[in-house]
Structures are given as structure tokens and as C-alpha cells.
Amino acid sequence: MDQFTLNLIVVGLSFALYIGIAIWARAGSTSEFYAANRGVHPVLNGMATAADWMSAASFISMAGIIAFVGYDNSTYLMGWTGGYVLLALLLAPYLRKFGRFTVPDFIGDRFYSQTARIVAVIALLVISITYVIGQMAGAGVAFSRFLEVSSSTGLWIASAVVFCYAVLGGMKGITYTQVAQYCVLIIAYTIPAIFISLQLTGTFLPQIGLFSADNSGTPLLAHLDGLLTDLGFRAYTEHHSNTLDMVLFTLALMIGTAGLPHVIIRFFTVPKVSDARASAGWALVFIALLYTVAPAVGAMARYNITTQMWPEGVTGEAVSLETIQTDEQYNWMLNWQTTGLLGWEDKNGDGRIQYYNDASADMQAIAAERGWNGNELTNFNRDILVLANPEIAGLPGWVIALIAAGGLAAALSTAAGLLLAISSAVSHDLIKSVLNPGISEKGEMLAARISMAVAILIATLLGLNPPGFAAQVVAIAFGLAAASLFPTIMMGIFSKTMNSTGAVAGMLVGLIVEMVYIFTYVGWFFIPGTNMLPNTADNWLFGIQPASFGVVAAILNFIVAYVVLAMTKPAPAEIQDLVESIRVPRGAGVAQSH
């Protein structure tokens, strides 16, 4: 059976499963559509949360970014997992106890203000649409290779699939679909990693293989460092970025995680407050199964690429185009070339590909001696790395098909959760709570589905020209969440006196400051060419990238909120009592001495 047919069978069966579950669990009421009728078991909710969380950024893009940057991009792992600890300890139980469907619902009621609700809806829409752009772009990459179409065609196919099961099922259908998607994505991610670890190091567990010796007897990471420095690149394990930016980026991912609306709404689906905390714990367990493997996937993929391009190092011959066309070892390059995501150019007409760092002085001397005209691997989209990994390593066809299904499961599961957050904000928080309180349940459901369909279209159009790789786009969404929603939720839970005026002022300042910083360097709504300054470290304020700046904006959010609070009246007594009841269990009091 050829690879294309095998891909269609495996991916088609997984999609049939997802759509079947969505039909079986079709939401029949607003409670089922928004919160799955609050009847999801904590373990299942933890699994669904992990699938919701482990998006195209985690499955498709993260290992690719780690592979091409190395040690410094471990910040993605630290920030995203650390954020779940914050979420489990500081937010999830209290938000579930408050008993609302959505984040704007909580903010609107806690701060007794429709203005606060509307600002929260705006922040949620900006965050979620930014986030879903990365998911749709990642799904487009996966579809483009395994259906052998262009990446833009793959993106439109992905949007059609998401429309089918997300619009139908609501939270109830999405929850059980995400449980199935988690099973698919974790199996698809782990099996190729095990194969490659055994192939390179003889070690079954990739987590251990990463720190083991390769087949030459040299520690794998040390060998990889040597290969890269020989080609003029930085050592894989070297720290070479701005330390301030690295710390701020990690913090932005952490507090951004704790402020992501599509993750928070998952904790409204469990029966009890204690189940919300348990769900977060189980989610961490399920996430760790992938996140501890990702560094090994990135390092081993970079190792394979480098040794394929330079089988004998710099002193050997570069791979020839003729070899790529005739040797099965290099078929993966030709396969990915058709997607437009991998490309090369024979700049000096010698019929070979030269792959090296042409900005390195040492390599420039070698290039001059050998008649090279620069690095000829002109395009290597980092988002293809995990999906191409089994092909690079020469693994069986069924493994390639499996990772295709896993990549699509990761992208589509998160896209569905984000789209539900968007539709809930529009239909429940904007239309039902503000514009038309008398709307019927049927009308509210229709509004939710229409808003979800519109969000899919917008995300698809913006995803055709994303401002970066999937993980980079998602990191921008985390910066926005860190700047706007996280401080407001924290103050809503832990500050009894914080009033609506302070909360609204803080949210607006945090969101506007972060958006201005993003648009300065990334562009208006991520439209290429609309940025005011080049998006490079030399231009960033104090070397802080747009995603990292979310921490600065969050600090400003807190400062403005408390300054405004000091100049206005604190929250009414009944609101302070409400906050106290959220934080303190019923019946709690001071122990009596005898």
C-alpha cells in the first residue's frame, strides 16, 4: 500500500471517530453547549484539558523550535508547564466555585459591571483569535504534506473539519472528542520518538536516550554540539539569548497559561470544586507524557538532519541533488518540497546542496576555498520537523500515517476549544448578558454556532499568512492573556476591595500596551508589512520580544488598577462577602480553645 493511501485511511478513521463522537454527544441545551452540563469526570476532564492545551504549538511546532534554537527554547517547556501549577493552585478551584460558564461571566459578575464584561470579551476575542491562527496554520502544514496539497489548501480543509465537529457538539461534544484526540496524539508522538531513540542510542525511553551515547559512543548532545559548531552554527546546548528576555518570556508563558480563557472554561465542566483541582493535576500528568519527550524529539531530529546533510562533517562532500532524487534516504526532502515548506537552490551550479552557516567567518573561508556561494538550503519551515521526523529517520509507513493523525488531532482539538471560548463570549457574555437579555435558549445556541463559524473563517484567512511558526504565534497569545485577563482574575479572587473602575482601567492599559508593542514589531492583525519597526532583537525595547512584554504589561495592569482603587470607593460590601465566600470553605472559622 502506498504512503498516500495509508495516510488517508489512518487520518480518515480518526476523523470519523471525532465526528461520530460529536454527533453522539451533540449539545441539546446551553448548559451542555457551554459546560457539558457540569458532568465530566476529573480524569476525563484532565485528558480533554491536556488535548485542549497540547495544540499545534506543542505537538507540531515546539520540538522544531527547540531543534533549531536549542537550549534557550526550553523556556517553552518551563513556561507552559509552570503555568498549569499556577492554574491548579490559584485559579481553577475558585473559578469553579464561583459557578459561571465563562471568564467574562466571572469578571462581569465579580466586578458588578457590564463594562468590565465587555472589556473581558474584547480581550478574550483578541487572545483566542490570535491563538487559533497558530492552530489553523499548524493543521494546514499537516494536511498539506499528508494529502499532498499546498499549505493554503490544507488550511481550508482543516477549517472545514473543525466546523463539522466543533459547531455541532459544543463543549459536550468537544470534551469527549478531545479525550479521543489525546489518545491519538500521545500515541502518535511517543511511538516515533521511541523508534528514533532506539535507532540512535539503543535506549528505549527518549527521555533517557537524549542523555545517552549515540552509535559512535559519543554522548548524543556532545556529538550534536560538535556537528553544529563544525558547520558554523552555535552549539546546541549553548545559552545565547538575552537573559532578561528569557526570564520574562518564561513568566509570560506561565501567567499567560493561567489566564487563557479556553483552558479556564474546562474547569467549569466538572461536578465539584475539588474536581477542578484534580482535573488540573491529571492534566499535568497527561501533558508531562508529551513534554518530557519533546526535547529528545527536537535534538534527535536536528541530529538526523545534520548527519544526512553532512554524512562526514565539513571535511566530507555535501549531499548532491542527484543523490536526493535517487536515494530513498532523501525522499522526505522531495516530499516536503511539494508543500512549499522546504526548499533549496543550487546557487553555484555545482549540482550539490551546501548547508552551513554562511555568516560564520570560519565557514566563509572554507566556502571561498571550495567555490560555494552561501547556504543553499533556502527554506526549512520549523513546523514541519516533527511531522517529517519519521520520514527523516526512515521509519515504517504506518508510523508516518500515525504522526499525521496525531498532528491533526493536536491542532484541531485546541482549535475547537478556542472556538468554543469565542462563541461563548459572543453569544452568552455579549448577546445574552448585554445586548439581548431576553433571547431564547434556542436563539442563544444559534448565535453561538454562527459566531463560531465566523471565527473559523477569520482564523483561516489570517492563518494563510501567519507572522511566525505556530509556537511563536501562540506565544503572542500568551503575552496578551498575561497582560489582560490574568491580573484581573487574580485581583477578582484575592482582592476583596478591588472595584470595577480599577479592574477595567487595569485591563484596558494591560491589553492596549501589549497590543501596541506587538503591532509595532509584528504588524496590525499580523498582516505582513504593517509593522512599524523590524521584529528583531536589535529593535526591541531592552531586548524584550513582543511575547515576553506581556509580563511588563501585566505589571502595569496591576499598578493602574490599584492606583485607581486608591482614588475611588472599594467594592460594595456584598461583593466583598462574595469574594470571601469563594476563597473560604463553608463552615471554616477560627478554632476554639478550651
pLDDT band at 380 (very low <50, low <70, confident <90, very high): confident
Inform me whether the pLDDT recorded for 34 exceeds 60: no
Q: What is the CATH number of domain 3-301+390-583?
A: 1.20.1730.10
Cell 503572542 belongs to which residue?
A: 476
Model confidence over 350-372: pLDDT tens digits?
Answer: 777 788 888 888 888 888 888 88
Please name which of 317, 435, 305 lies closest in space to residue 380, comparing C-alpha atoms.
305
Break the chain into its structural domains and give their ranges: 3-301+390-583
Q: Is the pLDDT of residue 316 over 60?
A: no
DSSP letter for each residue of 119-136: HHHHHHHHHHHHHHHHHH
User: C-alpha cell of 491?
Assistant: 485581583
Q: What pLDDT is attached to residue 392?
A: 83
Q: How far apart are alpha carbons 399 and 388 in whole angstroms? A: 11
What is the tens place of the pLDDT at every residue in 88-129?
A: 777 777 777 776 667 888 898 899 999 999 999 899 888 888
In this prediction, residue 354 carries a pLDDT of 80
Choose the most confident range, by mean pLDDT, from 8-17, 554-563, 582-591. Answer: 554-563
Q: Please give the share of the chain, as a percent, with pLDDT higher than 70.
A: 87
d(CA 469, CA 422): 23
Is it the case that residue 223 has pLDDT exceeding 80?
yes
pLDDT at 536: 78
Rounded average pLDDT over 147-153: 75
Q: Is 371 left (phi over 0), alpha (psi -120 to 50) or beta?
A: left
φ, ψ dihedrals at 49, nearest 5°: -65, -40
The pLDDT tens digits for 411-462 are 777 777 777 778 777 887 788 877 888 888 778 778 877 887 888 888 788 7
Please give the model's pTM, rounded to 2 decimal places.
Answer: 0.78
Do the Cβ atoms of 427 and 443 come closer than 8 Å?
no
What angle, 0 to 180 degrees and rounded to 10, lies between the N-to-C axes of helices 243-258 and 470-494? Answer: 60
> How far is the C-alpha of 208 from the C-alpha of 203, rounded, in Å?
7
